[in-house]
Amino acid sequence: MSRLNPPVTAQDFAIGPDTAVCTLLEYGDYQCPYCGQAYPIVKRLRKQFSADLRFVFRNFPLGEMHPNAEHAAESALFAGKHGRFWEMHDLLYENQRSLGDDDLLGLAGSLQLDVERLRADLGAGTFESAVKADFRSGVHSGVNGTPTFFINGQRHDAGFDLEALSHAIQATL
């Protein structure tokens, strides 16, 4: 059975209490339509389980398939550096049909982030190694497509519809 490796650390982007009984972790790609389907489901799960659930997101851009996924992931990390990761994360999924570089800069601008700084960071690949580190951790954890979810470190193979995820989370409480 595939297990999360390395486990969640302070470097990860997490939302929800650190003390939550259940940690749901997603390896996702901002340009992947299936991850787009999972996005509102995760929101509902967070509402449903509130204090019992912590959600963590790691990047797994499938660059050969989704040409904008890498820069989208880097933009999320850029926003994260400036304390706006989850707002950018939401915007990326809510606009996942238009994720060209100009769109990414526009989204950053709408969060009052420094657009020129993002342009320079995308050009220089400032966040490339951080995205790669996420990707590599996914590969070693047994990520088998996007999205792949882990529940308390165990890969969840039962589908990512609301019912399947909710059932699996409930089982940890």
Chain residues in the site for other proteins (CB under 8 A): 2, 5, 29, 32-34, 62-65, 135-136, 139-146, 148, 155, 157
Task: Between 49 and 135, name the residue whose CB sits nearer to other proteins.
Answer: 135
Joined together, the tokens standing for residue 12 give: 């990860």
Task: Between 75 and 141, name the residue whose CB sits nearer to other proteins.
Answer: 141
In the complex, what is the shortest distance from the CB of residue 34 to other proteins, in angstroms, rounded to a whole number? 6
In the complex, what is the shortest distance from the CB of residue 19 to other proteins, in angstroms, rounded to a whole number? 29
Task: Between 94 and 157, name the residue whose CB sits nearer to other proteins.
Answer: 157
In the complex, what is the shortest distance from the CB of residue 136 to other proteins, in angstroms, rounded to a whole number? 7
DSSP the chain: --B-SSPP-TTSEEES-TT-SEEEEEEE-TT-HHHHHHHHHHHHHHHHHGGGEEEEEEE---TTT-TTHHHHHHHHHHHHHTT-HHHHHHHHHHTTT--SHHHHHHHHHHTT--HHHHHHHHHHTTTHHHHHHHHHHHHHHT--SSSEEEETTEEE-S--SHHHHHHHHHTT-
Task: Between 157 and 161, name the residue whose CB sits nearer to other proteins.
Answer: 157
Task: Between 78 and 135, name the residue whose CB sits nearer to other proteins.
Answer: 135
In the complex, what is the shortest distance from the CB of residue 49 to other proteins, in angstroms, rounded to a whole number? 26
- Degrees (nearest 5) of the Cα angle 160, 83, 140? 45
Q: Which residues pair with 154 in a beta bridge?
A: 3, 151
In the complex, what is the shortest distance from the CB of residue 50 to other proteins, in angstroms, rounded to a whole number? 30
